[in-house]
Amino acid sequence: MVIIQRNIRSWCTLRTWEWFKLYGKVKPLIKGSKQNEEYELLEKKCKDMEDNYQREERLRKDLETANANMQKEKQALFQQLEQERDALSESEERAAKLLALKSDVEKQVCDDVI
């Protein structure tokens, strides 16, 4: 109770004091400048985020392009692999036919020698 009375007494003496009146008028302006600072800070963050978004968007597009190129290259390699497999199977078939022909010729030569 004593503290409240002391504070009220101090306020009563200060309310007529010219410096206190000036302080009362300036105090809201101080808050306003802080709001402007906060607004500028938020604008800066927003701009930074937009720049970051644009950079990430460019990076994403570049990566999508690289991915599409890699997919095309992969398809080309798979087609080349299939062609090589076909060529290998054809050459294996020819090798098997040649081996069979060789064994037939060897049999004929052995039969002719005997």
Query: Which pLDDT score, from 0 to 100, does residue 51 have?
Result: 97
Q: State the residue range of the domain holding 55.
A: 2-113
- For the chain, the domain total comes to 1
| Torsion angles phi and psi, residue 16, rounded to 5 | -95, -5
Query: Which pLDDT score, from 0 to 100, does residue 47 have?
Result: 97
Distance between CA atoms of residues 39 and 4, nearest Å: 38
Our measurement of the distance from residue 83's CA atom to the centroid of its chain's CA atoms, rounded to an integer in Å, reads 37
Task: Give the tens place of pLDDT for each residue, 63-101.
Answer: 999 999 999 999 999 999 999 999 999 999 999 999 999
Distance between CA atoms of residues 70 and 63, nearest Å: 10
Task: Give the tens place of pLDDT for each residue, 23-72.
Answer: 888 887 777 667 778 889 999 999 999 999 999 999 999 999 999 999 99
Name the nearest CA neighbour of 82 among 71, 93, 70, 74.
Answer: 74
Q: Residue 114 — very low, low, confident or very high, per pLDDT cuts 50/70/90? A: low
